[in-house]
Amino acid sequence: MTAPVTTTTSSLLLLHHPAAAIRSLPSPPRPSAVARPGRSRRCALLRCSAVSELAPTASAAYGALLLGGGAFAYVRSGSKGSIFGGLSGSALMGIAYYLMQSPETKALGDAVGFGSTFLFASVFGIRLYNTRKLVPSGLLLVLSLGALGVFYSAYMQDKV
């Protein structure tokens, strides 16, 4: 003896049209935009939630760029100031990268990255104003301002 098989419309829909059945399911609740009690809500420049994970990579890339640029300028023109600037910028970005690896010192690493990037953005801005040449000062100023935005946003997210 076999038991009677009952089929419902939803089970037939699932068998014949699985995409339509998935669309008919209720959507999960979305997190509310209400701030948590006791904490103020801050607005960051870049609103991506992965910016704090992007900051160590930006620190390493910006440090390598500064070191490579300083070495290139030294080889090309013998500028000791460029090699010193590249080495010091690379060292500061290395310190920032190291501090960003630990959750306890992540905000401090973001602050070190922000401060040193602000310093180099100022230097490149002054050089661009004095020389009026877009390469290399203008290019490095734009890259510095991009890194500055990443470090600022990561600091604001880590601080909250």
pLDDT tens digits along 83-95: 999 999 999 999 9
Examine residue 24 and state whether it is found in any structural domain, yes or no: no
Q: Which domain holds residue 64?
A: 52-159
pTM of the full structure: 0.69
Query: Tens of pLDDT along 54-71?
Result: 999 999 999 999 999 999
Q: For residue 128, is it within any domain?
A: yes
H-state helical runs in the chain: 9-16, 18-24, 51-77, 80-100, 106-131, 139-159
Lowest pLDDT segment from 20-24, 66-70, 116-120: 20-24
Question: Residue 145: pLDDT above 60?
Answer: yes
Cα 120 to its chain centre, rounded Å, is 18
**Is residue 6 assigned to a domain?**
no
- Residue 37 in any domain: the answer is no
Has residue 31 got a pLDDT over 80? no
Q: Are 88 and 97 in contact (CB under 8 A)?
A: no
Is 21 a member of any domain?
no
Average pLDDT over residues 149-154: 93
Q: Looking at the 3D structure of the chain, how many domains does it have?
A: 1
